[in-house]
Amino acid sequence: MTIHAQTGLVDSDDFYQRNVRRPRLPDYTQKIEDLLKRMTLEEKVGQMTQLAIGMIINGGDQSFKIDPTKLDKAIVKYGVGSILNVSDQALTMDRWHEVINDIQAAAKKTRLGIPVIYGIDSIHGANYVQGATLFPQEISMAATFNPELMKRAAEITAFETRAAGIPWSFSPVLDLGRDPRWPRFWETFGEDPYLAKVMGVAFVRGLEGNDVASQQQVASSLKHYMGYSFPLTGRDRTPAWIPENYLREYFLPSFDSAVKAGARTIMINSGEINGVPGHVNHHILTTILRKELGFDGFVVSDWEDIKKLVTTWRIAATEKQATRMAVMAGIDMSMVPLDYSFADHLLALVKEGAVPQSRIDEAVRRILRVKFELGLFEKPTFDPAMKTKFATPESRQVSLDAARESLTLLKNADNILPLAKNAKVLVTGPTADSLISMNNGWSYVWQGSEESLYPKDRHTIRQAIEAKIGTANVTYVPGTRIFRKPNTTSNNNPTDQEEEVDIPAAVRAAQNVDVVILALGEGSYCETPGNITDLTLGAPQLKLAEAILATGKPVVLVLVEGRPRIINRIADDMKAVLMAYNPSNEGGTAVADVLFGDINPSGKLPYTYPRTPNGLITYDHKSFETENTAFGNMAFKPQFAFGEGLSYTTFAYSDLRVDKQTISGNEELTISVTVANSGRRAGKEAVLVYVSDLVATLSPPNKRLRRFAKVNLEPGQNRTLTFKLRREDLSFIGPDNKPIAEPGEFTVTIGGLTQRFILK
Ligand code: BGC
């Protein structure tokens, strides 16, 4: 599955072209119009309302009960169209079935019996269903450079979400991780728009499949449209200043492609751009999304974001005014989610003529269409038989494959890795024995921070190493710990804290081993609680690292972290550095497999790892930022570069060719390159194709990723890969915000080889 069985190759463009097409769904126009005609204004406004599950239950934890009075108020009286989220933590499949049954039974009692669409954050698997298969987070999936794996993971996510009775997931995240200070960095596919668009299409096609009505699939929700990930301060939900050409160059393509792939819903940026909050941006929500991209699903707001127009952004004096602004800008459904204000205000606004009835009809049509397409009118609940195919060993294997393929070997001095299985090792560091670090947020609870909820039979790094080489060979001393206050469900909670535990004991233990495996990084965090004031790795961890390094023992650094924390004080003295990102529950096993050579690593870094807190520059920076000219500032000196990733074998690139010296009009350029496994082990290589526009009207980036392929090669085997570039791959968004391919000289670079060509 991971690599095409016959050819040993996954080619990004081939995958993209096969998957970007939207499937043909039945045309429900007649049914929608028939229903719409019979609906009252109240019922229509109800369909546009989404409430949190807390509005229909009593009690917060697992023992909550659906409150029949509250349920009736929401579903029967207000005709609420959608419910979202978990009460507190992931529910068992049986509990979900009860909840969904109760909600849909209430919906059946309404005059028209319109089913409710339940929505949930299935971010890395059905992470709010107990026992579900969790997958590596998106940042890890990006590092695999293998969209087939992403698609398969999303298919399983869809199956396990729908098996619980939930037909709608608030994923994928298609924001770009171009600033590692942003606390949702790990929810992205990294910094490159092309990688994000290929992976995003994979995620959407995996979730929605060819027939979203099938019990195997769910509707996706692309988020957070758009520019959410790039606030000036790096802090969540703070102002961004992004010119439209930059928005279109970097932040639009992943959404554009996912819309082309048929995505049924989209969620809006909770922040603001250029002083305009995402939720009132008519230009982005309607002009670009509807008219330009042709999106025909529905738009859902993010959490409480209409209220925040008053309380946070202060662009409306009253909530009623805010409601009008958001709906007129293009919001079809409001994630209110904790009261009935939206429905009440909207109803009044339509009655006063401040919001036209036609705008309501438009929104409701879109919502009903998705409900029909999901088959909710025929089957609003679930197929109980799916329970038996839930969280199968095969699904778990896909998660393990993904974790293995994501791990990225960033340094391997003197080929210290792989380690011998009879080596005596010290395992130390705060992420060595933590499933929390491995999973990060959106894991059983919002912040991922409840140790007790993690499966007991999944190995941490420490346990996996013990299982592989025997406990007698392993000493474990934590050294430091990362912790947070137990109640983590409100935005006001502090982020992770760190403290020393027993650094002297770790140092003592290091004396008696051959090698130290030092696992550093982060705990778990999500959204605003993940804001930090310093990207530098926590002081206790740096102290532990320096103390261990001072023993003179060889140290292998394993990083388990959702964003690159600055490690320049210690990195150069490490013998090896293995980036594990957030590989989820199979990650411990995968890390041990790589450290001891059972798996040959093949991940590549999907972002630029900064060396200094101020060195936040992406790989596609301007050329002068690396040049030592009078005004060149030599600013670009990352700790590790985008696309870095070593293997236990070596790959040799040769014979880079372009089929034409000059291309014109819409002619394609065919590029070929030969990649050979020149080492002694079988291995996979992600081949990255960069194109540079040498001179352009807007100062060009030094290079852009335009294609990639993942290829599997036996020792001594070689393979000639071909890539086709089209005119759009040579274009950029010009000063008038439109794509332009300018005549002139270009280069293509693969594996250190470069060829030139001319666009006429
Ligand atoms: C997040 C969204 C999420 C929603 C529902 C918001 O706070 O920004 O990504 O889908 O909550 O949980």
pLDDT per residue over 209-259, tens digit each? 999 999 999 999 999 999 999 999 999 999 999 999 999 999 999 999 999
Per the CB < 8 A criterion, the answer to whether 608 and 372 are in contact is no
Rounded CA gap, 87 and 479, in Å?
36
Q: Which residues contact 553 (CB under 8 A, 6 or more apart)?
A: 426, 510, 511, 513, 514, 515, 516
CA-to-CA distance for 462 and 309, rounded, in angstroms?
Answer: 47
**Which pLDDT band holds residue 624 (cuts at 50, 70, 90)?**
confident
Determine whether the shortest distance from the Cβ of 121 to ligand 1 is under 6 A.
yes
Q: Decide: 265 and 221 in contact? Cβ < 8 Å.
A: yes
State yes or no: pLDDT of 629 exceeds 70: no
pLDDT at 423 (0 to 100): 98
Determine if ligand 1 sits within 6 Å of the CB of residue 298: no
Residue nearest to atom 11 of ligand 1 (CA): 303
pLDDT at 625: 83
Is 655 annotated in the active site? Answer: no
- What sign does the dihedral 410-414-417-418 (CA atoms) show? positive
Peptide bond connecting 486 to the previous residue in cis, omega within 30 degrees of 0: no
| Span of 57-71, 181-195, 620-634 with lowest mean pLDDT | 620-634
Mean of pLDDT over the chain: 96
**Residue 490 predicted with pLDDT over 60:** no
Q: Which of 13, 179, 256, 302 is catalytic?
A: 302
DSSP secondary structure letter of residue 77: I
Q: What is the pLDDT of residue 2?
A: 58
pLDDT in tens, 643-665: 999 999 999 999 999 999 999 98
Rounded to the nearest whole angstrom, what is the distance from the C-alpha of residue 187 to the centroid of ligand 1?
Answer: 12
Q: What is residue 494's predicted lDDT score, i.e. its pLDDT?
A: 59
Q: Is the pLDDT of residue 389 over 90?
A: yes
Between the alpha carbon of residue 745 and those of residues 740, 741, 748, 755, the distances in Å are 15, 11, 10, 11
Interval 190-209 mean pLDDT: 98
**Hey, whose CA ends up nearest to atom 7 of ligand 1?**
303
C-alpha 693/C-alpha 745 separation (Å) is 7
Tell me the torsion sign for CA atoms 441, 392, 167, 221.
Answer: positive
Ligand 1 contact, 272 CB (< 6 A): no
Least confident span in 268-272, 483-487, 498-502, 633-637: 483-487
Per the CB < 8 A criterion, the answer to whether 250 and 198 are in contact is no
Q: What is the mean pLDDT of residues 537-544?
A: 98
pLDDT at 665: 84
270 CA closest ligand 1 atom index: 8
Say how many Å lie between the CA of residue 223 and the centre of ligand 1.
Answer: 9
Of the candidate ranges 58-72, 214-228, 368-382, 706-720, the one whose mean pLDDT is the lowest: 58-72
CA of 303 from ligand 1 middle (Å) equals: 6
187 Cβ closer than 6 Å to some ligand 1 atom: no
Looking at residues 637-641, what average pLDDT do you find?
95
CA of residue 170 to ligand 1 center, whole Å: 8
- What is the C-alpha to C-alpha distance for residues 427 and 57, in angstroms, rounded to an integer? 45
HEC states along 169-184?
ECCCECCCCCCCCCCC
Q: How much is the average pLDDT of 416-434?
A: 98
Here the tokens at position 612 are 């200094």
pLDDT at 61: 77
Mutate which of 175, 303, 335, 447 for ligand 1? The one with the most ligand atoms within 8 Å of its CB, which is 303
Q: Is the dihedral of CA 105, 110, 111, 114 positive or negative?
A: negative
Q: What is the pLDDT of residue 4?
A: 66
Q: Is the CB of 302 under 6 A from ligand 1?
A: yes
Q: How many CB atoms lie within 10 A of CB 711?
A: 24
How far apart CA 438 and CA 140 sit, in angstroms, is: 11
pLDDT (0 to 100) of residue 488: 46
* Ligand 1 atom nearest to 119, measured from its CA: 5
**From the alpha carbon of 187, which atom of ligand 1 is closest?**
9
Cβ(168) to ligand 1 under 6 A?
Answer: no
Give percent of the chain above pLDDT 70.
97
Q: Mind listing the pLDDT tens digit for each residue in 663-683?
A: 998 999 999 999 999 999 999
How many other CB atoms are found less than 10 A from the CB of residue 534? Answer: 11
Q: Whose CA is nearest to atom 8 of ligand 1?
A: 302
Closest alpha carbon to 132 in 103, 102, 169:
169
- Is the pLDDT reported for residue 49 higher than 90? yes
Whether 270 is in the pocket of ligand 1, judged by its Cβ within 6 Å, is yes
228 lines ligand 1 (CB under 6 A): no
CB 656 within 8 A of CB 671: yes
- Is it the case that residue 634 has pLDDT exceeding 70? no
pLDDT tens-place string over residues 90-105: 999 999 999 999 999 9
For residue 63, what pLDDT is reported? 86
Q: Report how far residue 332's alpha carbon sits from residue 31's, in angstroms, rounded to the nearest whole number.
A: 19
Q: What is the pLDDT of residue 129?
A: 98
The pick from 170, 223, 235, 306 for probing ligand 1's pocket by mutation, whose C-beta has the most ligand atoms within 8 angstroms, reads 170
Q: Is 171 in the pocket of ligand 1 (CB under 6 A)?
A: no
Q: Which of 87, 117, 121 most suits a substitution to test ligand 1, by most atoms within 8 Å of the C-beta?
A: 121
Atom of ligand 1 at shortest range from CA of 221: 10
Q: Convert the pLDDT of each residue in 552-600 to its tens digit.
A: 999 999 999 999 999 999 999 999 999 999 999 999 999 999 999 999 9
Measure the CA–CA gap between 35 and 6, rounded to whole angstroms: 49
Does residue 561 have its Cβ closer than 6 Å to ligand 1? Answer: no
Q: How many helices (H) and strands (E) does the chain have?
A: 22, 31
Measured in Å, residue 378 CA sits from the centre of ligand 1 at 29
Q: Answer yes or no: is the C-beta of 303 below 6 A from any ligand 1 atom.
A: yes
Task: Quote the pLDDT of residue 185.
Answer: 98
Q: Determine contact, residues 664/759, Cβ cutoff 8 Å.
A: yes
Residue from 51, 184, 302, 488 whose mutation best tests the ligand 1 pocket (most atoms within 8 A of CB): 302
Q: Which tokens is 373 given?
A: 């397409």
CA of 320 to the centre of ligand 1 (A): 23
Q: Please state the atom number of ligand 1 nearest to the C-alpha of residue 267.
A: 10
Global pTM reads 0.97
Lookup: tokens for 265: 């819903």
CA of 396 to the centre of ligand 1 (A): 26
DSSP string, 177-223: ---TTSTTGGGS--S-HHHHHHHHHHHHHHHH-S-TTSTT--B-EEE
CB 55 within 8 A of CB 337: yes
Q: Would you call 290 exposed, middle or buried from its count of C-beta atoms within 10 A (0-12, 13-18, 19+)?
A: middle
85: Cβ below 6 Å to ligand 1?
yes
607 CB near ligand 1 (under 6 Å): no
Query: Residue range 517-536: average pLDDT?
Result: 96
Cα(266) to centroid(ligand 1), Å: 12
Q: Which atom, in ligand 1's list, is nearest to the CA of 224?
A: 9
- Closest of 595, 348, 579, 353 to residue 466, by C-alpha: 595
